[in-house]
Amino acid sequence: MATTPASIIGRAVPRIDGPLKTSGTAKYSSDHNFPNMVYAVPVCSTIGKGRIRRLDSSAAEVMPGVVRVYRHGKVPPIYRPIPHDRTARIDESRPPFEDERIYYNGQYVALAVADSYEHAKAAAGAVKVEYDAETPNVSLDLSDGFNDSMQEESKRGDVDAAFASAPVKIDETYVTPVETHNPIELHASVATWDGSRFVLYETTQAVMNHQAVMAQMLGVPRENVQIVMKFLGSGFGGKLWPWPQAMLAAVAARDLNRPVKLVIDRSMMFTCAGHRPRTQQRIRLGATPDGKLVSLEHDYANHSSISTVGHFRENCGEATPFLYSTPNLRVRSNVVDRNVGTPTPMRGPGAVPGLFALESGIDELAIKLKMDPVQFRLMNEPKLDESKGMPFSSRHLKECLTQGAEKFGWSAYKPEIGSMRRGDITLGWGVASCSWIAGRGACKATLSLRDDGTARIACATQDIGTGTYTVFAQVVSEKTGLPLHKIDVVLGNSSLPPGPTSGGSMVTGTVIPAIIQAADAAIRQLLTVATTASDTPFQNRKPEELVLTEGRIQLKSDAASAVPFETILKRANIRTAEGEGNSGPNSTDPQLRNYSFHSFGAHFLEVEWDAGIARLRVSRVVTVIDVGRIVNLKAARNQVEGAIVMGVGMGMLERTIYDPRNGRPVNNNVADYLMATNADCPEIDVTFLDYPDKLLNEVGARGVGEIGLAGVAAAITNATYHATGVRVRELPIRLETLMEQEKGSTTRRA
């Protein structure tokens, strides 16, 4: 007799798309080639502010193979997108070549199109541009944002009075630098036009959004634009919304009536495709002498581009209002304009820089109180989301902290600076909490059960390298009993039933209800077919008497009656049984509106400080994460480990440096822009708590892409303080700072 196989949900299933990637047969966007295709190369501004005085493309236009040179005044219309349209999001909203002003260094000023990449590149280099240059404002000091125009984001009690009278307090400013997304895959657009419709092969984390934006900016109906993205070489948020190269490729394709390929180069990734903006954050905390938080104030500003180009707000206060219990709280923010390209979300936008500041401040206050930093956090655990007065759907931060402390061996922590050693090495221990939004968006999906015994699940979302193909297949397998190799997952095409953006770690939580509905509907239809097919044990039975188990239809009352479902479809001469799922956001569900949905976690981290050779290394990481139920343990652990590697980069290496004379990012390549690799990281010990969040979806899964990065940088600077006595409040940690200041603090200690 058939036994029910153990659930495939939660297992460490290898990626179903792995073989395509490891064999080089997965087609990335720039891998698409067409007959008669031409290549486009942008010309980038070499000044950071000013105006184009003269642009001479006459020499370029007569070079071998050159088809056209586009520029301001000589380009088909590109329209502005509708402002604040949540279905058509874009950060750099200024259409390329809209005017002759230069707002940032690297801004596209012309586009050379030719019959080969080399010809186009040579032509782009031959375009002569003269500028009226002004000095760009790339000031690192964001104090101009700290004024009366700050926007109040969250408020309770009276922070001013509470802070003034708090017996123990800190008032410190923390700074995070510009970080640039550096996915291996460059941004690419391959545009085709058939006389009335565009098919655009794009590097995007959101085919539906991309379609909506492109339709608006190209001035065509949405149904005349199809976006395709089958595989992404990572995005980290940089590929959420369209960038100017996409519009340029599309208008050129329509204008020339030829396919156009435009792949930007690595230096353009630093200017024309977003970055995590610089932030300056002032944290004011007040507590009673026994460690009860009485006041929490978080004021911050981030830089953005000149607002004509685009306005981006980094939501640093995301987790601040609900992470700890305090009767008095205020969060205020502002955005200041600089001559830089428009920022965009980068993995864990808002919370990641925000929690660097908050979790540093919490550490500083705990030290001032002479309290254990884990104990201090546990003492200030809230019973509910105090900013909304609502219960959390599921919150286990306390357990993240206590389990993490246990696994790390925190009971051996000695608070005196520099007191923990391993041979000649000074050890530093640090801890930080983390949190990330959990939510569910709108999603449709269709499931087909086919007469060859396979299933097809389709949805216009996409797999950005995180495992979405596999998660879909697992949920379908769970519902139908089919093995993974009999399930086709079709994503990455805007013509499919509309699905979510791959952002905010929301895809898994969002798609599960739609897939389950689609599967239930398809199975219902299949069982109805079974009651009509001749020569079967099910003819003239009622569908309710039947069940689909492990891909076979049977009478509920008689396991021996089981027949493979494809046999039934064949006998009925029906190709597929189909079902559609259609689920909505949790935020609009009346049953769920009174819950606060978030994920939580805690990082425990050790650094080794070798003062003799000024070497700082992260030597141990223990992370405990509370994201509800895990669908794929392997993919989930991979996400958190990767995020922690990025966190080591954020804490110790990453920053984009602008030349103050011309606003040019000077380290605009992967040799000079330092990112953490596995060699910079120790073994990473990740534990997932297993508390299904059944309010969010039937499986209880939240998302896991971004939370692992939040808090890591603070855990590193907290540990570094413990080792060296140097408090680093501006990222990344620089060895010079440690060397200079440690002398002082050693003297002070002596």
Q: Which residues are catalytic?
A: 706
What is the pattern of x (binds ligand MOS, CB under 6 A) and - over residues 348-387?
-x--------------------------------------
- Supply 693's token pair: 């969040």
Q: Measured from the CB of residue 510, what is the shortest distance to ligand MOS in angstroms?
A: 13
Classified as helix, coil or strand, 736 is helix
Which residue, 182 or 339, is less far from ligand MOS as judged by CB?
182
| Residue 120 region by backbone torsions, left for phi larger than 0, else alpha for psi between -120 and 50, else beta | alpha
User: Which residue lies nearer to ligand MOS by CB, 48 or 235?
Assistant: 235
DSSP-derived 3-state class of residue 102: strand
Which residue from 107, 182, 205, 718 is in contact with ligand MOS, where contact means CB under 6 A? 205
**Binder of ligand MOS out of 177, 503, 649, 692 (CB under 6 A):** 503
Q: What is the 3-state secondary structure (H, E, C) of 184-234?
A: CCCCEEEEEECCCCEEEEECCCCHHHHHHHHHHHHCCCHHHEEEECCCCCC
Count of CB atoms situated within 10 Å of the CB of 263: 20
Q: Which residue is nearest to ligand MOS (CB)?
A: 237
Span of 4-12, 18-26, 346-354, 585-593 interacting with ligand MOS by CB under 6 A: 346-354
Q: Among 341, 345, 551, 601, which residue sits at the site for ligand MOS (rule: CB under 6 A)?
A: 345
Q: Which residues pair with 71 in a beta bridge?
A: 74, 110
Only segment of 64-72, 233-241, 580-588, 625-633 that touches ligand MOS (CB under 6 A):
233-241
Q: Which stretch binds ligand MOS (CB under 6 A): 133-141, 257-265, 345-353, 620-628?
A: 345-353
Determine the distance from the C-alpha atom of residue 446 to the mean position of all C-alpha atoms in its chain, rounded to a whole number: 26
Answer yes or no whether residue 285 interacts with ligand MOS by CB under 6 A: no
One-letter amino acid for residue 427 of the chain: L
- Cβ atoms within 10 Å of 134's Cβ, excluding its own: 13
Query: Is 175 strand, coil or helix?
Result: strand
Based on CB atoms, which residue is closest to ligand MOS, 316 or 447? 316
Q: Which of 263, 346, 676, 733 binds ligand MOS (CB under 6 A)?
A: 346
Q: Which is nearer to ligand MOS, 616 or 704 (CB)?
A: 704
Q: Which stretch binds ligand MOS (CB under 6 A): 224-232, 235-243, 377-385, 726-734?
A: 235-243
347 binds ligand MOS (CB under 6 A): yes
Rounded to whole angstroms, the Cα distance separating 179 from 681 reads: 19
- Whether the CB-CB separation of 621 and 713 falls below 8 Å is answered with no
Minimum separation from the CB atom of position 237 to ligand MOS (A): 2
Between CA 153 and CA 148 the distance in angstroms is 14
Closest-CA residue to 657 (of 665, 646, 669, 649): 665
Of 4-12, 21-29, 341-349, 644-652: span binding ligand MOS (CB under 6 A): 341-349
Work out whether the CA dihedral 657, 663, 668, 671 comes out positive or negative.
Answer: negative
Q: Is 504 in the site for ligand MOS (CB under 6 A)?
A: yes
Q: Are 732 and 716 in contact, with CB atoms under 8 Å apart?
A: no
Residues 654-713 touching ligand MOS, rule: CB under 6 A, are 706
240 binds ligand MOS (CB under 6 A): yes
Instruction: From 639, 229, 706, select the one nearest 461 (Cα to Cα).
Output: 229
Among positions 95, 145, 177, 237, the unique one binding ligand MOS when judged by CB under 6 A: 237
Smallest distance, ligand MOS to C-beta of residue 159, A: 30
CB of 501 to ligand MOS, least distance (A): 8
CB of residue 731 to ligand MOS, shortest distance in Å: 18
497 or 504: CB nearest ligand MOS: 504
The least distance separating ligand MOS from the CB of residue 705, rounded to whole angstroms, comes to 7
Amino acid at 526: L
Q: Is 600 helix (H, G, I), strand (E, B) or coil?
A: strand
Q: How far is CA 335 from the centre of its chain?
A: 21
Q: How far apart are CA 260 and CA 123, in angstroms?
A: 16
d(CA 525, CA 76): 49
What is the rounded distance in angstroms from the CA atom of residue 609 to the CA atom of residue 611?
6
> Residue holding tokens 């395709």?
228
| 3-state percent helix, strand, coil for the chain, nearest multiple of 5 | 30, 25, 45
Q: How far is the CB of 701 from ligand MOS (least distance, A)?
A: 17
Q: CA distances (Å), 439 to each of 206, 455, 518, 592, 702, in order?
A: 17, 28, 20, 11, 7
Return the structure tokens found at 214: 């492109």
Rounded to the nearest whole angstrom, what is the least distance from the CB of residue 236 to ligand MOS in the complex?
6
| Residue nearer to ligand MOS on the CB measure, 240 or 427 | 240
Tell me which H or E stretch contains 366.
Answer: helix 351-368
Residue type, 698: E
Specify the residue, 177 or 345, whose C-beta has the smaller distance to ligand MOS. 345
Nearer residue to ligand MOS within complex by CB, 553 or 640: 640
**Residues 74-133 within binding reach of ligand MOS (CB under 6 A):** none
Question: For the packed helices 468-480 and 507-532, what is the interaxial angle rounded to 10 degrees?
Answer: 40
Radius of gyration of the CA atoms of the chain, in A: 28
Q: In this complex, which beta carbon is closest to ligand MOS, that of residue 345 or of residue 509? A: 345
Size of the site for ligand MOS (CB under 6 A): 11
The CB-of-502 to ligand MOS minimum distance in angstroms stands at 7
Give min distance, CB of 348 to ligand MOS, in A.
7
The answer to whether 277 contacts ligand MOS (rule: CB under 6 A) is no
Residue number with CB closer to ligand MOS (364 or 706): 706
Q: Is 627 in the site for ligand MOS (CB under 6 A)?
A: no
Site for ligand MOS, rule CB under 6 A:
205, 235, 237, 240, 345-347, 349, 503-504, 706
